[in-house]
Structure 1
Amino acid sequence: MFKRVAGTGPDKVVIVLIPNFSMIALSGVVEPMRLANRASGKTLYEWELASRDGEPVQASNGMALVANRSVADFTQTPANVILCSGIDGHVYKDNAVFGWLRRWAREGAHIGAVCTGAHVLAHAGLLKGYRCTIHWENLDSFTEEFPDLDVRAELFEVDRDRFTCAGGIAGLDMMLQEIAAKHGQELAAAVAEQFMHERMREGHDDQRLPLQARLRISHPKLIRAISEMERNTEEALTRDEIADRVGLSRRQLERLFRRYLNTSPARYYLKIRLNRARTLLTQTTMPVTEVAFASGFTSASHFSKCYRDMFGRTPRAERRNPGAPIDEGLRDPGLDFLDATSDLSEDGFEDDDFEDDFDDDELD
């Protein structure tokens, strides 16, 4: 992953801070290097912080870090560069920074990104022909904006002289793999133990918790049904199609959702699709009508009504003021505020009443 320049001693890394960067993503990269130096008793890694203009950069948590220098201050091309971004990575467009990144790439630097830094690399044109990843919350919008890129839902991806990481503590796992590859598994394990990190995850491990852990449910057919919903947001499945895929009748499917989640399949599916729509509205410039279609709606007006019912504002208002607080009186975990007689049939479901006409044993 890191490029080592012959005869120069430790691996040297320049970390470029993007405004509103994630502090935990930065720590996940820096702290393993610090602990590797400490545990080995040697200076294996050296790093410095850079910013566009050499001025301090504020993180998303409000804390500001002092940069060692600006990107223009480097008289020699850095061997390794890591972009550290955060919640605003998708809107960051700075031609001066892009120009330096392209120059460094042409001159042989190994360039990577953590959290939403992949957005910055993509805007700079530095991910074409490379595998890459990004935080799961940004995957949908990232793939919509850059459909030609090879985007993977991995913890981290290392592809020749590019490396990308999903952010959070995934940077720790990526750095542990780097330490193990360069300096041995024993040192990597010692660093992991300092973090009380019980398992060094591989790049292909899932970013998100399993559905069982997220929802605290264990019924296998319910888990499969929700997985089908999450995989099919653009072309919404009908209730019968979902039931058939998991080996249940339609009424058994209804009963499972009522019993474990206190809602109906229609309402749960709608919530998944509306959350996808919100991501696309706040992280892309897709027209609202296209967002509706990409979220499984065939009617823009119906999409707008459902969106307002859930989030307390219209899709257009969301785009004008992304991240505004949601009216908690309107957003209910089970979407119970929606009228049970609402016609959802155009989007694949009708939320009619289910009948309690079979035993619980039929679900087991």
Structure 2
Amino acid sequence: MNSNHPSNQENKTKPLSVAFLLSPDFTLSAFSNFVDALRLAADDGDFSRQIRCKWKVLSYNSQPIRSSCGIEISPTADLVEPGLFDYIVVVGGLLHSGKKIAPPLVSYLKKAAEQNVPLVGVCTGSFILARAELMNGHKTCVSWFHHQQFEAEFPKLHVNSDSLFINDGNRITCAGSAGVMHLAAHIIEKHCGKHEASRALRIMLEEFPLSEKTPQPQPFIKNKISNINVNKAISLIERNISTPLSIEEIANKVNLSHRHLERIFQKEIGMSPAEFSIKIRINHAKNLLINTNSQVSFIAMECGFLDTSHFSRRFRIEFGKSPTEVRKEAILKHGKK
């Protein structure tokens, strides 16, 4: 990083300065989680003054930028000198819409890179940086949901979908969603202090910060399923984790017989619908044990188990350890309290 860059100056009173570039059809939650963490760390009380942190939404034409959910955000500044910012955050969005950021924004990002301003890609912002050839020689973090697409488009780049985010020199990339607030807290802690970062997360109802090495929750089935009825059945199971449907109910909803549903499940994923339902609920429970402080009894009910003892037995069969043991290991590994 350039020794003259603002983030390396020893002036502790200088606020953290962040610029946002929003892509067409950007993901609103990725932007809002980041900027809200900055807002909460920037001021005491609930005044939202830009004291410890400052932020701007940049644009080359002053037009509102439409998010993927239809809500528009108005820019607050033109493409001012990139060296004025400690970070420039690129917020990506829908890949299949075919919309790309405008050439002036690509030129601006390249100018920022030449000045050694750290570039941050959140959600599919990593694709935007890679398309601008700004991720060459850097590790890239993407969501597991977009891993194959990134790998296919950029076969020469090193891509990772295991971690929440990756800090690799002057490039930081984040899978998106809730992980963005933890990335923001990581940056806030570096520039403003641990107290400010922790306080922002607590107000956002996150009890503790997650490090960049925290694993992303992974899908239970990673391989693509070709049978449309199996996909429909999987979707029904995933949407009803707390109150599991019977196999008969699932078969009826996808207009198949119980036996035929069993056969195609076995062919596609190598297990019965009932086995799949148990495994996906157990895996969801493991994520809750690792990433929340909810009681084991609550997690058992949340994952569709009638009692804690039944849940614990199934959990030990699946992972060889009790729920309590898995939680203790996570606490030791990640330093959670």
Q: Which residue of 1 aligns with 2:147?
A: 139
- Structure 1 unaligned regions, length at least 5: 212-225, 234-272, 275-302, 312-327, 352-360
Matches within 5 A, 1:306-325: 306=227
Query: What secondary structure, in the 3-state scheme, does the structure 2 residue paired with 1:51 have?
Result: coil
Matches within 5 A, 1:164-203: 164-203=173-212
CA distance in 2, matches of 1:334, 1:151: 40
Question: Are positions 1:107 and 2:95 aligned together?
Answer: no
Q: Which residue of 1 aligns with 2:66?
A: 58
Q: Which residue of 2 aligns with 1:120?
A: 128
CA distance in 1, matches of 2:36, 2:126: 21
> What amino acid is aligned across from residue 7 of structure 2 in structure 1?
R
Query: What secondary structure, in the 3-state scheme, does the structure 2 residue paired with 1:39 have?
Result: coil
Give the Å deviation of 1:183.
Answer: 2.7
User: In structure 2, which of residues 165, 170, 176 is the aligned counterpart of residue 156 of structure 1?
Assistant: 165
CA distance in 2, matches of 1:147, 1:126: 15
Q: Which residue of 1 aligns with 2:44?
A: 39
Q: Deviations over 1:298-352 (max 9, x none)?
A: xxxxx6xx459857xxxxxxxxxxxxxxxx999849996967677997x89799x
Query: What secondary structure, in the 3-state scheme, does the structure 2 residue paired with 1:69 have?
Result: coil
CA distance in 2, matches of 1:350, 1:25: 36
Q: Which is greater in Rg?
A: 1
Give the Å deviation of 1:53.
Answer: 2.3
Question: Are positions 1:4 and 2:7 aligned together?
Answer: yes
Give the Å deviation of 1:78.
Answer: 4.2
CA distance in 2, matches of 1:166, 1:90: 19
CA distance in 2, matches of 1:129, 1:344: 43
> What amino acid is aligned across from residue 166 of structure 1 in structure 2?
A
Q: Which residue of 2 aligns with 1:254?
A: none
User: In structure 1, which of residues 82, 94, 97 is the aligned counterpart of residue 89 of structure 2?
Assistant: 82
Instruction: Quote the RMSD (CA, aligned, Å).
Output: 4.0
> What amino acid is aligned across from residue 25 of structure 1 in structure 2?
A
CA distance in 1, matches of 2:37, 2:265: 54
What is the TM-score of this pair, normalised by structure 2? 0.62
CA distance in 2, matches of 1:85, 1:194: 26
CA distance in 2, matches of 1:22, 1:344: 36
TM-aligned CA distance change 1:112 to 1:120, over 3 Å: same
Identity %: 21
Question: Are positions 1:28 and 2:36 aligned together?
Answer: no
Give the Å deviation of 1:113.
Answer: 1.3
Give the Å deviation of 1:99.
Answer: 2.0
Query: What secondary structure, in the 3-state scheme, does the structure 2 residue paired with 1:21 have?
Result: coil
> What amino acid is aligned across from residue 86 of structure 1 in structure 2?
G
Query: What secondary structure, in the 3-state scheme, does the structure 1 residue paired with 2:104 have?
Result: helix
- Determine if contact 1:39/1:191 at 8 Å carries over to the other structure: no
CA distance in 2, matches of 1:136, 1:208: 9
- Determine if contact 1:3/1:109 at 8 Å carries over to the other structure: no
Q: Which residue of 2 aligns with 1:236?
A: none
What is the TM-score of this pair, normalised by structure 1? 0.58
User: In structure 1, which of residues 86, 96, 104 is the aligned counterpart of residue 104 of structure 2?
Assistant: 96
> May I ask how many residue pairs the two structures share in their alignment?
251
Q: Which residue of 1 aligns with 2:299?
A: none
Give the Å deviation of 1:95.
Answer: 3.2
Give the Å deviation of 1:97.
Answer: 2.3
Q: Deviations over 1:126-181 (max 9, x none)?
A: 11111121222112211222122111121111111111111112111011112222
> What amino acid is aligned across from residue 182 of structure 2 in structure 1?
D
Q: Deviations over 1:217-249 (max 9, x none)?
A: xxxxxxxxx6xx63xx3xxxxxxxxxxxxxxxx
